[in-house]
Amino acid sequence: MSHTFHLDNQVAVVTGACGKLGPIWIEALLDAGARVAALDLSGAPGSGAYDALAKRAGDRVRRFDCDITDRVSIEAAANGVVAAMGEPAVLVNNAGVDQPPDSAGTRHHLQDLPVDQFRRMVDVNVVGTFQVTQVFGGRMAAAGGGSIINIGSLYASVSPDAHFYDHLPGNAPFIKSPAYGASKAAVVNLSRYFATHWAGQGVRVNTLSPGGVLGGQDDQFKAKYGSRVPLGRMAGPSDLMGPLVFLASAASSYVTGHELRVDGGFTAW
């Protein structure tokens, strides 16, 4: 691998470290040579994937409590990271609220979707990402450089296909919340805003938007989804790692304000 893809001894911050995608980003950063500050809510259980990574990496991974909806909590986490590991050069804004199709008895028709659920998703996915970028990105700008990768979604660009879920039983058809795609579209634009604002301080800001990622989905869903993707399948962890390291490293030194869709061609149709 060219040295331009290396992150040797750089400090990288990953929010939502214990979630579905967090361990994927952490593993990619570790393999590229970085030391990783893993941020998540206090008391959030470590997933099997995260725990295995942390055990393997030893002191190259350190966990810090952080609630991305609380500015004081973010600032405390930033101070803790700097004191324990040094100034971060990479930030992966991964923490967010998704909606897995597993709530068969508590669904709502679109016209009855509670607005509080909508607000919560926007608060975490948009306002949370904004605040973390303010705090950690502000430090990068003051230090003269860094790379921020905001995790988007293919649903920042297209609407979810309800037919993917119409085989699921329940009191109402499952619908992916309209707040999810709306919030991820906002994240894409937020990335462009910070990219242009901090370019003069050497901070690059991009969005990585994955398509559907394998993670325990039922066979019918996987078949339906795969048939809609030009490459014919859902993404696996290894499909996401290279794109993340590209955006985090000097390999993308002239890339900022960009949305990199890693979706198997889903949005090309």
What is each CA distance from 136 to 133, 168, 170, 247, 265, in whole angstroms?
5, 41, 42, 17, 32
Q: Quickly state the pLDDT bin for 106 (edges 50, 70, 90).
A: confident
Is 180 considered catalytic here?
Answer: yes
Q: Quick one: pLDDT at residue 1?
A: 46
Q: What is the pTM of this model?
A: 0.96
Q: Quick one: pLDDT at residue 2?
A: 55
- Span 132-141, pLDDT tens digits: 999 999 999 9
* Mean pLDDT estimate for the chain: 95
Q: Quickly state the pLDDT bin for 172 (edges 50, 70, 90).
A: confident
Rounded average pLDDT over 175-191? 96
What Rg value do the Cα atoms of the chain yield, rounded?
18
Amino acid at 142: A
- Given the residues 50, 155, 165, 180, select the one marked as catalytic: 180
**Cα dihedral 99, 47, 75, 119 in deg (nearest 10):** 10
Helix boundaries (H) for 155-236:
178-198, 219-227
Domains of the chain, by residue range, sit at 3-268
Question: How is domain 3-268 classified at the architecture level of CATH?
Answer: 3-Layer(aba) Sandwich (3.40)
Q: Quote the tokens at residue 33.
A: 């040579």
